[in-house]
Amino acid sequence: MNYQARRRLGCCVYLVFDKDEWMLIDIGYEDTVSEIVDMIRQMDFPLSSCRYLVATHADVDHIQGLKRAKELLSSAKTVGHPETKRLLLSGDRVRTYAEISAQDISIDLPTIKLDRTIDEGDRLPIGGLEVEVWHTPGHTHGQLAFRLGDLLFCGDNIYRDGCVGNIDAHHGSDIPAFIKSLERIRDSSVVWLLPSHGPIFRKDNAQLQRTIDRLKTYLHMADFGTCAVDWPLLDEWDQELARGFDPAKS
């Protein structure tokens, strides 16, 4: 949607339709909701035929506009993972990145009660289509992806340049889970990836493997703090201390 508007508005907003029904995957920031809804109206989609407003996860750049969108598209059901529901209901400003105090980032997070939770294996019917829900934790626990034929709306799992959604302990990131989610995408028969940021791209397993291998190194790096599972340097140091430290041999 936002590419139709010729610029990026927060995150990618995807409209999926079939016959007389449609849904939106993410909505982005609140101040661009009315522009997006206007554009949908101009394309002759009846607003009353919107079936779902989907939150891929609870990050503020994806869902800040959800409450406003629900006001304009009242027939639509707001849906997301149970974790997303919890964060949006409680208005958790840290886990949603509404508040990054060290960087003076503080933006509004309208609280909203999702109409329905969705999780692995659920299907969202749209016209004659069924959009399949994948639970793909890693970036955050509530991250969902959505499969439609050979397309995967992959959220913040992977971008065209091989980067992934931010890995951050305060965000509930989990590197082992992230690796599993990426392996699932790699091993799937999906052909096209439609990410939440940046352009759509063809799935490239060699590139996905490089990303997976990179994340595997993070598991053992102090750079990733409590998201890492160990730090081999400390084991090495233990062994060196047990052997005795000889400056002459260092």
Indicate which single residue of 21, 26, 30, 156 sits in contact with Zn ion (rule: CB under 5 A): 156
Verify binding: residue 174, Zn ion, rule CB under 5 A: no
CB of 227 to Zn ion, least distance (A): 17
CB nearer to Zn ion: pick between 21 and 156: 156
Collect all residues with Cβ–Cβ distance below 8 Å to 96 and sequence separation of at least 6: 58, 59, 60, 63, 87, 88, 109
Strand partners, 152: 147, 193
CB nearer to Zn ion: pick between 64 and 196: 196
Residue closest to Zn ion, measured at CB: 156
CB of 196 to Zn ion, least distance (A): 5
Listed ranges 32-40, 81-89, 121-129, 191-199: which one lies at the site for Zn ion (CB under 5 A)? 191-199
CB of 23 to Zn ion, least distance (A): 19
For residues 19 and 31, the answer to whether their CB atoms sit within 8 Å is no
Give the count of beta carbons closer than 10 Å to the beta carbon of residue 196.
27
For residues 39 and 13, the answer to whether their CB atoms sit within 8 Å is no
Residue 125: both structure tokens together = 């019917």
CB of 197 to Zn ion, least distance (A): 6
Size of the site for Zn ion (CB under 5 A): 2
CB of 31 to Zn ion, least distance (A): 17
Listed ranges 24-32, 36-44, 189-197, 220-228: which one lies at the site for Zn ion (CB under 5 A)? 189-197
**Rounded Cα–Cα distance for residues 55 and 114 (Å):** 9
**Rounded Cα–Cα distance for residues 219 and 76 (Å):** 41
DSSP for 47-73 reads GGGEEEEE-SS--HHHHTTHHHHHHHS
Listed ranges 33-41, 122-130, 155-163, 198-206: which one lies at the site for Zn ion (CB under 5 A)? 155-163
CB of 242 to Zn ion, least distance (A): 46
Q: What secondary structure letter does DSSP report for 116?
A: E
Binding site for Zn ion (CB under 5 A): 156, 196
